[in-house]
Chain A
Amino acid sequence: MDIVNNVKASSHRIRNSIATIFGVVALAGCATNAPQDTWQPKGENAQIINNLQWIVFPMAGVVGVLVLAFAIYTFWKFTDRGQPIPSQSHGKPIVEIILTIIPALILTVVGVFTFRGIFELSNTQDTEMVINVTGQQWWWEYDYPAQSEQGITQPIISSGQLVIPVGTKVLLRETSRDVIHSYWIPALNGKKDAVPGRINLLRLQADKPGIFAGQCTEFCGLSHANMRMEAIALSKEDFAKWVANQQKAYTSPADGTLAKEGEGVFLNQCIRCHQVNGLKKADGTPAIAAPDENVYSGAAPNLTHLMSRNTFAGAKFDLLNKSCRSDVWDASPETIGQKYLAGVSESCLNATDLRAWLRNAPAMKPMYADPTKLAKSGGKYRGMPNLGLTETDIDKLVAYLLTLK
């Protein structure tokens, strides 16, 4: 018995030390806390993928080390040291057959696990929540259809940050309004392309509250590099609060305030593309944005609750200033919900970038927004043009936008 135990123990030790060696080798050169690390799963789907990675990477590593060791030994052993030219043997078929079968067997093992993983990941039967995700140059729109189980009684339209409840199987129904984009939050799942004319499904589930970074990963033109996203997982209670806030009715700023003047500027300029639900024109009729008349993709971010998000312009810029931003990002899973739901206050606002954006958006982010170069798109913009606002207009607008909680 002792012997058996010893063998078991030592084989265990060997296995552990191999795992440790791989861990050390793999981690030695890596960044810590890289927001888009593909080896830090934070949810079920990403975990399925990660389990497969932990099969195929060590296998590839072991094979690689063995082949390299054999190669180096061969290079050393058969160096020309004056030995005679060997007999001109053309090889042995049995060696060939063995060397074909071994990799075939290894790959069969990998294949079986892969097969299972592919079908596990494609499962959408037990979905608990649906969000429509639409890509366009160069931002994502999130459209939450009414679904009473999640407390969403009227549709919510948001952008920049995807907000989901933890422990919930969320199904993203992805499409695009112009070119192909790809939705990728590495901590939650692999990529899925957003293809115009098609709806692709991607399941996400987050285990704990937190913020997870992502990036558009299908080349989508000029500002592809600036098309980012963030997913925020909130506890179920916090998510309910978020939903309640998103469904809150619009209140116009009090008369005589700077913000009220800002509302006027908004109605004059921004409403051409950007919707604010509940906003009314001076004559009391609803103000309806018509982005399809001005923008090639036919959409611009809905700004109704802009200041409940932490980013703007395709999540390229933060709405929060540096210290307030890191306050949210570094928060523990217990406190992050409360901090996120606080939104953007005047003291936390990243006024520099927001003002620069309002002053001249194309200078901040490359876009096709030069009115003289729009012949091929029928005069429509791809991105936000320079509106030629005065500094006073910008003051007013910023004051107004701050009220869009």
Chain B
Amino acid sequence: MSTNELTLTPSESPSLSNKLTISPTQTLGAVRRPVNTTGWREWLFTVDHKKLGIMYGAVAFVFFIVGGVEALFIRLQLALPDGRILSADKYNQMFTMHATTMIFLFAMPMAAAFANYFLPLQIGARDVAFPRLNALSFWLFLSGGLILNASWFLGGAADGGWFMYAPNSGPVFSPSNGVDFWILGLQIAGIASLIGSINLIVTVLNMRAPGMTLMKMPVFTWMILVVQFLLVFSLPVITVALVLLMFQRSYGATFFDVSQGADPLLWQHLFWIFGHPEVYVLILPAFGIISEVLPTFSRKPLFGYPFVVFSGASIGLVGFGVWAHHMFASGLGPVSVAVFSMATMAIAIPTGVKIFNWLLTMWGGKIWYSAAMKFAIGLVILFTIGGLSGVTHAVAPSDTQQTDTYYIVAHFHYVLFGGMVFGLFSGFYYWWPKVFGKMLDEKLGTWNFWFMVIGMNLTFGPMHILGLQGQPRRMYVWTEARAGEGFFNLGMWNMVASIGSFILAVGVLFFIINVIKTTRNPERAPIDPWDARTLEWITASPPKVHNFDRIPVVHHLDEFFHRKYEEDEATHTMKQVATGEELVRAEEAAADADIHMPGPSYWPILLAIGVGVLGMGVIYGTPIMVFGALVVLFSSYGWVLEPSVPESIDFDTPSTDGHTKEIAPLG
């Protein structure tokens, strides 16, 4: 060992600043760490959870547009019988990539964007537990997303559906490299999510502000916590499946080759053991968002907070026991089918509890119909419709008529578009002033909302009829011979759905216009525009690098609200005792003396590039793989040897009272 004794142990942390002698002037890593970055470097090398959150959001939104354009191509193709916009091959790639993009490259990272940005703020922390790992998660996700989409330009995208059932995903049946890109992109994006989930779990469990017990934690943070546990337990399963498939396709293994004795149902089980919890990974963050928005705009706390929290947790738990309801037609046998059918019905109960609690939150309230609130209400209504159609296919025999038809497409778009996407849009409008210090235009927001509601119902509503009257999914053409007769024949409903999809697209366009308009508008948002309830509002908008000038001490659920209002004992109504503005000024005046923040780093982005190159090597040959591995190795060493907290960007001199404010000394 050199003179730099790495004697860090948690027990010694009070005297940390004295023992930690590593600094940029005594470089241990191969490269000096970046200090005081500005401009584009500020973004590429950042480890700030807020910057990473914004980047997650921006990239995810771009993928939302990509996935949306893919959806429009699908609807164009299906507007008329025997569509000729896309070939069969291109159509199969289109629906595969639409789902893959929307799930892995939009929904999950967009939830990660919200989680990254708001989870530390909601628990009164200055960053996540492992800031550099957080940056690595983001860059790995981007690397995975680029690999997935690169396939469009390198011989065609994956064409086996997002469920990629074996043996149709094997080298004989899908001879292009599309599936290989898909496997590698998802593996890399999966590593990103896995790292992110561990990071957020540790953050929530260890870094809550003083006084914030788990049952005083905002519901959004709770739901994100549940989601991270779902990810930790479900991602390894899909990773195993993807690795098996990778070895089959690239190295001649026979895991799913029936002629070698494989059972193709192995893939289905592995996929859905991941795939069903994944559904809750997608929806629970949106549930969390509206569980913040509904109380704020109803001026009431969430009705039955512990019930909502525990129903979220039990949805997560039971969500691991219902995977085979995706396989009711696979020939599981009546006992398995009956068990999974009952388990699926059981999961409707906690979900129903949530709906009732949201409605009862509004009951007796003082409702302000802001754009954020409109989207949140949209979620409650549309998700209810989707949930009820879900119950109709929990009835397994009924599901054997519905599965793989447009009825299922209708169902999951009501829960995922009507549910998840509306929740995310609610979050955009609610938290935009917090993130960017500017208010999104409420009028454009209303247009945005109504076009999306109408468009979404016109697109996915008719699909209930299409499915129940026998139109299967994943068909590049439909034929008039099977479309029935009368004015309301299936051709008419296909056309309505296609028109609806473009109305929906106009709705999204309104949002983009709104963002552009807001960015150009110089007017600053008020500190507390919504009379909000939780800790993220007790600081500046956008928050300073260190989030809070003083770490808040928590006494209540909805701490911020209870600092502003007290109950009038006589009338049992709330009277204001302070404004949000005053509270934020008070925090600023009592700022902590010395705050250490983690410094930027080259290694996360470099490591992610290395992993991406390594992945491409699986497709394009060993030399590329070796090069990628060397980059990974080099950046891992650089990472390990890099001190996490450089002195040069300290906000203040190190503490002298032996009480450090440093976070994440181990990076």
Stretch at the interface among B279-287, B354-362, B547-555, B630-638: B354-362
Q: B351: nearest residue on chain A (CB-CB)?
A: A103
CB within 8 A of A99: which of B305, B337, B352, B388?
Answer: B352
Per-position 1/0 for A359-374, Cβ under 8 A of B: 0000000101000010
B648 CB within 8 Å of chain A: no
B65 CB within 8 Å of chain A: no
Q: A53: nearest residue on chain B (CB-CB)?
A: B398
A345 CB within 8 Å of chain B: no
Q: A201: nearest residue on chain B (CB-CB)?
A: B331
Q: How far is the CB of B573 from chain A (nearest CB, A)?
A: 4
A212 to B488, alpha carbons, bound, how many Å?
21
Cβ contacts under 8 Å, B478 to chain A: 225
A376 to B398, alpha carbons, bound, how many Å?
40
A171 to B168, alpha carbons, bound, how many Å?
27
- Judge whether B258 and A196 touch: CB under 8 Å: yes
A24 CB within 8 Å of chain B: no
Q: How far is the CB of B580 from chain A (nearest CB, A)?
A: 14
Cβ contacts under 8 Å, B88 to chain A: 222-223, 225, 366
A68 CB within 8 Å of chain B: yes
Per-position 1/0 for A67-107, Cβ under 8 A of B: 11011001100111001111111110101100110011001
Cβ contacts under 8 Å, A88 to chain B: 300-301, 558, 561-562, 565, 567, 574
- Judge whether B488 and A107 touch: CB under 8 Å: no
Q: How far is the CB of B395 from chain A (nearest CB, A)?
A: 5
- Judge whether B304 and A213 touch: CB under 8 Å: no
B484 CB within 8 Å of chain A: yes
Stretch at the interface among B14-22, B363-371, B504-512, B603-611: B363-371
A221 to B289, alpha carbons, bound, how many Å?
39
CB within 8 A of A107: which of B89, B334, B346?
Answer: B346
CB within 8 A of A225: which of B330, B349, B476, B572?
Answer: B476
A114 to B346, alpha carbons, bound, how many Å?
13
Measured as residues with beta carbon below 8 angstroms from the partner, the interface class of chain B is: 35 or more
B154 CB within 8 Å of chain A: no
Cβ contacts under 8 Å, B483 to chain A: 31, 34
- Judge whether B349 and A198 touch: CB under 8 Å: no
- Judge whether B474 and A219 touch: CB under 8 Å: yes
Stretch at the interface among B119-127, B449-457, B463-471, B612-620: B463-471
Q: A200: nearest residue on chain B (CB-CB)?
A: B331
Known contacts A57-B392, A191-B401; is A90 also within 8 Å of B472 by CB? no
A95 to B364, alpha carbons, bound, how many Å?
15
CB contacts under 8 Å to A, within B431-471, are: 462, 465, 467-471
B519 CB within 8 Å of chain A: no
B317 CB within 8 Å of chain A: no
Stretch at the interface among A118-126, A143-151, A259-267, A393-401: A118-126
Cβ contacts under 8 Å, B562 to chain A: 88
Stretch at the interface among B217-225, B259-267, B593-601: B259-267
A236 to B302, alpha carbons, bound, how many Å?
66
CB within 8 A of A118: which of B165, B307, B396, B477?
Answer: B396
- Judge whether A29 and B301 touch: CB under 8 Å: no
- Judge whether A52 and B397 touch: CB under 8 Å: yes
A224 to B542, alpha carbons, bound, how many Å?
51
A60 to B357, alpha carbons, bound, how many Å?
19
Q: A37: nearest residue on chain B (CB-CB)?
A: B469
B391 CB within 8 Å of chain A: yes
- Judge whether B175 and A114 touch: CB under 8 Å: no
- Judge whether A91 and B304 touch: CB under 8 Å: yes
Known contacts A85-B574, A90-B304, A217-B405; is A186 also within 8 Å of B470 by CB? yes
Per-position 1/0 for B362-388, Cβ under 8 A of A: 111111110000000100110011001
- Judge whether A85 and B366 touch: CB under 8 Å: yes
A119 to B346, alpha carbons, bound, how many Å?
20
A64 to B484, alpha carbons, bound, how many Å?
28
- Which 8 residue pairs spanning A and B have beta carbons closest together? A36-B470, A190-B400, A31-B484, A34-B484, A225-B475, A200-B331, A122-B334, A84-B573
Name 30 A/B residue pairs within 8 A (Cβ), A-sorted.
Answer: A29-B465, A31-B465, A31-B485, A31-B493, A34-B482, A49-B400, A64-B384, A68-B381, A88-B558, A88-B567, A89-B303, A99-B352, A100-B352, A103-B348, A114-B341, A114-B395, A118-B337, A119-B338, A121-B334, A178-B167, A179-B167, A180-B264, A191-B403, A197-B261, A200-B331, A215-B482, A216-B472, A220-B168, A222-B88, A366-B87
- Taking A32-B489, A71-B381, A86-B299 as given, write out 19 further A-B residue pairs in contact, using a Cβ cutoff of 8 Å, ordered by the A residue number: A37-B470, A70-B359, A71-B377, A71-B384, A74-B362, A75-B367, A91-B304, A95-B304, A96-B356, A115-B338, A179-B173, A180-B264, A190-B400, A192-B329, A192-B331, A195-B331, A218-B329, A218-B404, A225-B475
